[in-house]
Amino acid sequence: MEVVVLLLDGVWAALQPTNLGLAFLGVVIGLFVGAMPGLGSVNGVAILLPFTFVIQEITGTISSPMIFLAAIYYGAMYGGAISSITLGIPGASTAVATTFDGRPMALGGHAEKALVIAAIASFAGGTISNIIFTGAAPLLASVALKFGNPEIFALMLLAFATFIGLGGDDVPKTIISICFGLVMSAVGFDIISGAPRLLLFDSTEWFSRGIQFLVLAIGVYGIGEMLWTINSTRDSFKMTEANITLARVWQALKSFPEAWRGTSIGSFLGFFVGILPAAGATPGSLMAYGVTKMVSKNQEEFGKGRPDGVAAPEAANNSASTGAMLPMMTLGIPGSPTTAVLLAGMVIWGLQPGPLLFSEQPEFVWPLIGSFYISNVIAVVVNLACIPLFLKVLRMPFSILAPLIFVLSVVGTYAAYQNIYDVWLMLIFGIGAFLLRILDYPLAPAVLAIVLGPIAEPKLRQSLLLSDGSWMIFLERPISGPITIAAIILLLLPLYGFIRKRVKARS
Amino acid sequence: MRIAELVTAIAIAFFSLYLMWESGEGPSWDPTAVRFANIGINVNNEGPGSGFWPFWLSLAMLICSAMVGINWFRRKSVPSQSTERFLDTYGIKMFALVGGGLVAFLFLVGLIGFYGAIPIFLFYYIYFLGKHPWWLASIIGVGVAVFCFFFFDVAMRIVLPKGALEPLFIPLYEIFL
């Protein structure tokens, strides 16, 4: 009951004109970055994070900047479908599965039906996951209050182990990416003793303040990804015209029950996949599509424009984005690059993410959760009302959008730290990220690692201080033990796969 | 692509070695500190030293770069099997024009500040690379610079560097700040 009262208070706070305006603006920006091929929620939140300092300064609250960024995250999940359906190119990786049936539907002359189903399924996914989140988050936070240093470190180890064991990328390259991020987070000075360390190339001007998280994140997502998109999408996109009239939208709305199965599978499955570190919205939506197809009686119709095939991934990616917020808000451990950026934002605004957030900062937590509900409503309304407008915006040539994003990245990095060396470093990381991306090095783990590094290192060192240097502390304690064992199993998973392959090849 | 894969792995290996060397450096205020004395798990009974975290992680990076090298030799990873070029002619041209443009943009920021460099960079990209009309490139270039001035300098009070163009802004400061 207490939760309901807190939630209603939160919704009321989120409905205040400033927060409502920010949620609206965030959703519109999110829809745009989600719809533009090459840009996703993580690009949106990383590039715009420096601008949230103004919001904090003007509003004087810490929940308002977060409401803005969370709204971008939400909007992007809706927006991805627009380009998947009309261009056949996913606007973001989270909307890859939406192309499978959304594109054939559009080519068959039913673009508006696909867009409406995507919007309504997204709304359903968002709402169902919000309800689960509201119930689960305070409970999980109260359990997590019992966690000490070894438990928190074990959880972080588990997050990285999931990337290695289940991430699906080249294992040594994933580990390099994680270690690079963790070592870069140690540059500047030792958090515990205060001693300067890793002043690379003896340059105090460049490295004495450490490497700021945003420098790497904007480098990777503002410069690296943009260069990669320019290099990989050379042909101009062909857009399917969508004939949107009120009557056709109404018709499409009435046909939504056809997609109930996909929507419900996507909503529930998406949430639980979203919670897992390294999983998140992209695998969530692909899995939801797969499961919906598997349980369907008309499997052969999938891929040809089946409403369930559009609804399942769209419900799942929205649901998974809320799911990914759960470990970030309650444990302080982000599971995806976007939530890593949100977590870094919370640190910059002066919050300490983790289980204490729920008991010590209710004036931050509940308006934010309230805003999830509000943003979801805004997103579905804006999405349905503005589909024709977004189709026009999508025609904006990339040769205008790309330089604008470059300028935004450079100016944003400078404005955040007011140091030109940081801007140069951002550019160096961006160019490096582009070259490494061609060679299949995953970069999301590095971004996650530079956020988690400053939290994980002291936890590890304090745990080892407590145990006089014995690693057994992680295995002996009742909560950290099972988590550490799970992490070790995940780390060994690729090795097991390798050995099994060898044995099979021999026999 | 094959050569690039190997060269990158070797570069990462050297970078990891360098990071390990740097991690071992003792605090600057203690000239008697022995290199690598700070990487242990229980230094002077005070738990792990300051170099513990970066040293062992860099070692992990070194081992993994060796594994990338082994996978290259055994042609196990995707780029090591690829016969494609790392960057084809289009890619090299794009990288030189866009990447070079960005580097030049930052150099220009040092010389004539953000408000001089932004319109030049946007005009270069939109007109020369994007092949859009000159008037569109000019409007966007100048428009973005004006927007940034009012957003950062005026509204947020974050003064962006103006380089040699500083004198031109003095009258504007008097009006708006």
DSSP-derived letter for residue A49 is G
pLDDT at A335 over 80: no
Hey, is A299 helix, strand or coil?
A: helix
Please name every residue paired with A414 in a beta bridge, in sequence order, or none if there are none.
none
Q: Which residue has the higher pLDDT, A192 or A21?
A: A21
Rounded mean pLDDT, A443-469: 88
Q: Let me know whether B105 and B160 are in one domain.
A: yes
Q: Let me know whether B97 and B171 are in one domain.
A: yes
Q: How many structural domains does chain B have?
A: 2
Cα-based torsion angle of the residue sequence B104, B108, B113, B116 in order, rounded to the nearest 10 degrees: -90
Which residue in this structure is represented by tokens 């996507």? A266
pLDDT at A319 over 90: yes
Percentage, residues of chain A above pLDDT 70? 96
Residue type at A139 in one-letter notation? L
- The answer to whether A390 and A242 have CB atoms below 8 angstroms apart is no
- Model pLDDT, residue B110: 92
- The answer to whether A139 and A258 have CB atoms below 8 angstroms apart is no
Q: Let me know whether B54 and B110 are in one domain.
A: no
Q: Which residue has the higher pLDDT, A280 or B133?
A: B133
Q: Let me know whether B94 and B72 are in one domain.
A: no
- The answer to whether A275 and A137 have CB atoms below 8 angstroms apart is no
Burial class (CB in 10 A: 0-12, 13-18, 19+), A26: buried
- Of A181, A229, A48, A270, the closest CA to residue A455 belongs to A181
- The answer to whether A230 and B94 have CB atoms below 8 angstroms apart is yes
- Record: contact A440-B156, CB cut-off 8 A: no
Encode pLDDT of A368-381 as tens digits.
999 999 999 999 99
Q: Identify all chain A residues contacting B126, using CB atoms and an 8 Å cutoff.
A: 399-400, 403
Cα-based torsion angle of the residue sequence A108, A113, A115, A120 in order, rounded to the nearest 10 degrees: -150
Q: Let me know whether B126 and B59 are in one domain.
A: no
| CA angle (A203 as vertex; A198, A208 as ends), nearest 5 | 60
Q: Let me know whether B65 and B95 are in one domain.
A: no
Q: Let me know whether B102 and B142 are in one domain.
A: yes
- The answer to whether B62 and B13 have CB atoms below 8 angstroms apart is yes
* Orientation angle between helical segments A63-86 and A337-348, nearest 10 degrees: 160
Angstroms from A458 CA to nearest CA on chain B: 10
Tell which of B81, B115, B130 closes a domain. B81
- Of A427, A448, A491, the closest CA to residue A185 belongs to A448
Give the number of beta-carbon pairs within 8 Å between A and B: 178
Q: Let me know whether B95 and B172 are in one domain.
A: yes
Q: Let me know whether B62 and B121 are in one domain.
A: no
Which residue in this structure is represented by tokens 């304090």? A462
Tell which of B59, B81, B103 closes a domain. B81
Q: Which residue has the higher pLDDT, B18 or B25?
A: B18
CB neighbourhood size of A16 (10 A): 14
Rounded mean pLDDT, A76-102: 82
Angstroms from B177 CA to nearest CA on chain A: 17
Q: Let me know whether B76 and B140 are in one domain.
A: no
Encode pLDDT of A220-260 as tens digits.
888 998 898 888 877 555 566 666 677 777 888 888 888 88
Q: Which of A182, A196, A440 sits opposite B28 (nearest CB)?
A: A196
Q: Let me know whether B172 and B93 are in one domain.
A: yes
Encode pLDDT of A194-214 as tens digits.
788 888 887 777 887 888 888
- Record: contact A170-B121, CB cut-off 8 A: no
Q: Identify all chain B residues contacting A467, using CB atoms and an 8 Å cutoff.
A: none
- Model pLDDT, residue A373: 92
Q: Which of A196, A406, A436 sits opposite B102 (nearest CB)?
A: A406
- Of A75, A411, A379, A110, the closest CA to residue A259 belongs to A110
pTM above 0.80, yes or no: yes
Tell which of B29, B53, B81 closes a domain. B81
Residue type at A167 in one-letter notation? G
**Residues spanned by the domain of B127:** 89-176
Angstroms from B171 CA to nearest CA on chain A: 23
- Record: contact B60-A175, CB cut-off 8 A: yes
Q: Let me know whether B103 and B172 are in one domain.
A: yes
Nearest CA in chain A to B47: A465
